[in-house]
Amino acid sequence: MKEDLTHDVPKEPSMLRQKELISGHYDALAAARDNGRKVAYTFVPGNLTELLLAFDVLPVLPEINALQSGMRKRSGAYITEAEKLGHSEDVCSYVKCDIGMMKTGLGPTGKAMPPPDLLLLSYTGCFTFMKWFELLKQEFPNAEIAMLHVPYQGGGVVTKEMRDYVVAQLRSEVVPKLEKITGKRLDEDRLKELLERSARAEEDLVWVLESAKHHPSPIDGYFGGVFYIGPIFTAFRGTEEGCDYYRILREEVQGRIDRREGPITPVGPLDNQKYRIVVEGPPNWTSFREFWEMFAAEGAVCVASTYTKVGGLYDQGFRHDPAHPMETLSEYCLGCYTNLNLPTRTGLIAKYVKEYEADGFIVHSVKSCNSFSAGQLLILREIEKRTGVPGGFIESDLVDPRYFSPANVKNRLESYLQMIEQRRHGGGAVMEASP
């Protein structure tokens, strides 16, 4: 039974296509054992899809499972289960959702989720990942586990030593473990092929993301963006189907630009865009549609977001480089959004506000994710100072429904947008932030 996760959200052809891809992937996972395919669990930031696919290994992304459970309104129950097992209410709801889901033996689509042959602990941009996979190791004691420590860009730059460190780990830790579980050697040629395709898809993705610079914007770069990054951040980067998807998407978006149309939102096409907004922070998944509706109903289109860069910062120039496979994988991991330091993140958002000609920016702060959230209040004030544009602040969570209060969220959003509106009619300048 294929559950239609997006039945609430109107469909663009590309959306249907990505839905097919993703559900196809879940089917493949359900059949993995029978087909003798190996399965690796890993994370979106720092994901090594090309490497895994070069070994014919199927990737499972527990974060995606968690957000899928959230969108299907199952996460609440899973979280409660995990808390009964002793997990604190203070910790990340993705982890708890996953733990709760594991107990059912099923994945978010209701199909069996295969156990991991390898836990590829890509330790990129988030401390919780380490604990998450340690917990999974307890559940799956027979799985191999590989730690890939991706150093943090504390100083705002990627140094040669950081790159070398990741490459060394790939060679000494990750590849050997993949060889062990599959019984195959690494096929470098295959890897290069995959990387070349990645670069192609990345070109199209960046084009799509930057299309939001148009007036009106043909895409929503946050809510809509979530669907656009699906294939490339999961099992399809490097594949023909992946490239295909981005080609279709690009054509679709071009069509909308030609017709001066806006994106399709839960309240219909958003051609009359009153507010152009940049968003920092992950979305809420349990009330995803409702949250999007709040924006669309006010005529607010998201022109850029940072969440769409968690699996890679392609719009700042990075492309996978098939000529240097290990180095490029390393570079890729180091550049994921949550691995950037606060000053860099601040600069990036300020740049988006200017380049995408935004009327405002909103920080969506989620309780679960300290990686995103710690310091966002300062980021907010810094960007206001640098751009002169006011920032809004909304709080909720990733997949714990107890932390999304529609009334509070709507109130803050409406107040913020009304504020922008009033200022257009002749208000003052942005206040200098006082220490």
Partner 1 sequence: MSRASFACFVGIDLGSTTTKSVVIDDAGVIIGRGITNSRSNYDLACEIARSEAFVDAQMSRLRRALAADPVLEPHARVLSASLERSFRYRQHARQLANLRRACLLITAGAQPIEATLVEILDELDALAEKMFTGIAGAEKRSEFFRDIAGAQFQRAAEQRADPRRLPFEDIVAVFDKAILKVENEGDDLTFEGNARAAFTRSLSLYAKASPEVRSAAAAVLDDLLARPPVVRASVGTGYGRARLPFPKERIRSEILCHGLGAHAMFPMTRTVLDIGGQDTKAIQVDGEGIVTGFQMNDRCAAGCGRYLGYIADEMNLGVHELGPLAEQATRKVKITSTCTVFAGAELRDRLALGEKREDILAGLHRAIILRAMSILARSGGVHDEFTFTGGVASNPAAVRALRDLVGENYGPRVLNISPSSIYTGALGAALFALRDVNRLDEEQRRPEEAHA
Partner 2 sequence: MKSTLEIAAECERISLDTHLTTVRAWQERTGGRAIGHLPIYAPREVIQAAGMLPVGILGGGDQIEIIRGDAYFQSYICQIPRSVVEMGLTARLDCLSGMLFPAICDVIRNLSGVWQLLFPEKYVRYIDVPQNVQWEVGGRFYLHELHELGRGLAEVSGTAPTDESLRAAIVEHNLARRLIRELYDLRARSPERVPTSEAYVLVRAGYQLPAAEHAALLRAYLDAARETKRTELDQARVILVGTFCEQPPLGLLKTLERAGCYIVDDDLILGARFLTADVDEQGDPWEALARAYLEHSAHTSSRYVPEEQKGRYLVERCKQRGAEGVIFCAPSFCDPALLEQPMLESALDRAGIQHTAFKYSESSAQFQAIHEQAGTFSDSIRLWSLDA
Give the Cα separation of 293 and 425 in Å (integer): 25
Q: Which residues contact 368 (CB under 8 A, 6 or more apart)?
A: 91, 92, 93, 94, 397, 398, 399, 400
Give the Cα separation of 54 and 37 in Å (integer): 13
- Among partner 2, partner 1, none, partner that 428 touches (CB below 5 to 8 angstroms by kind): partner 1
Is residue 423 a contact point for partner 1 (CB under 8 A)?
yes
Q: Smaller CB distance to partner 2: residue 166 or 219?
A: 166
Give the CA count within 13 Å in the CB-facing half-sphere of 339: 29
| Site for partner 1, residues 381 to 410, rule: CB under 8 A | 381, 384, 390-391, 393, 395, 403, 405, 407-408
Is residue 425 a contact point for partner 1 (CB under 8 A)?
yes
| 404 touches 284 (CB < 8 A) | yes
| 1 touches 23 (CB < 8 A) | no
Is residue 349 a contact point for partner 2 (CB under 8 A)?
no
- Among partner 2, partner 1, none, partner that 288 touches (CB below 5 to 8 angstroms by kind): none
| 367 touches 203 (CB < 8 A) | no
Is residue 357 a contact point for partner 1 (CB under 8 A)?
no
* 269 prior amide bond cis, ω within 30: no
Give the Cα separation of 65 and 62 in Å (integer): 5
Percentage helix, strand, coil for the chain under 3-state DSSP, each rounded to 5: 50, 10, 35
Q: Which span (5-13, 71-79, 169-177, 353-361) binds partner 2, by CB under 8 A?
A: 169-177
Give the Cα separation of 342 and 346 in Å (integer): 6
- Among partner 2, partner 1, none, partner that 173 touches (CB below 5 to 8 angstroms by kind): partner 2
| Site for partner 2, residues 171 to 200, rule: CB under 8 A | 172-173
Is residue 348 a contact point for partner 2 (CB under 8 A)?
no
Give the Cα separation of 292 and 223 in Å (integer): 6
Is residue 371 a contact point for partner 2 (CB under 8 A)?
yes
Q: Which span (9-17, 222-230, 347-355, 424-432) binds partner 1, by CB under 8 A?
A: 424-432
Is residue 411 a contact point for partner 1 (CB under 8 A)?
yes
Give the DSSP per-residue string, 327-394. Answer: HHHHHHHHTSGGGB-HHHHHHHHHHHHHHTT-SEEEEEEESS-HHHHTTHHHHHHHHHHHH---EEEE
- Among partner 2, partner 1, none, partner that 411 touches (CB below 5 to 8 angstroms by kind): partner 1
Q: Which span (66-74, 81-89, 299-307, 418-426) binds partner 1, by CB under 8 A?
A: 418-426
- Please report where in the chains the tokens 């490029």 appear, as a residue: 328
Is residue 159 a contact point for partner 1 (CB under 8 A)?
no
Is residue 85 a contact point for partner 1 (CB under 8 A)?
no
- Among partner 2, partner 1, none, partner that 28 touches (CB below 5 to 8 angstroms by kind): none
Give the Cα separation of 364 and 393 in Å (integer): 6
Q: Smaller CB distance to partner 1: residue 317 or 435?
A: 435
Measured between alpha carbons, how far is residue 232 from residues 7, 32, 394 in Å? 22, 21, 28
* Least distance between partner 1 and beta carbon 96 (Å): 19
Q: How many residues bind partner 1 (CB under 8 A)?
A: 31
- Among partner 1, partner 2, none, partner that 343 touches (CB below 5 to 8 angstroms by kind): partner 2
Give the Cα separation of 8 and 63 in Å (integer): 22
Among 5, 31, 77, 91, binds partner 2 (CB under 8 A): 91
Q: Where do contacts with partner 1 occur on this chain (CB under 8 A)?
A: 377, 381, 384, 390-391, 393, 395, 403, 405, 407-408, 411-412, 414-416, 418-419, 422-423, 425-435
Q: Where do contacts with partner 2 occur on this chain (CB under 8 A)?
A: 85-88, 90-92, 95, 121, 123, 126-128, 130-132, 134-135, 137-138, 145, 147, 149, 151-152, 154-155, 161-162, 164-165, 168-169, 172-173, 341-343, 345-346, 365, 367, 370-371, 373-378, 382, 395, 435
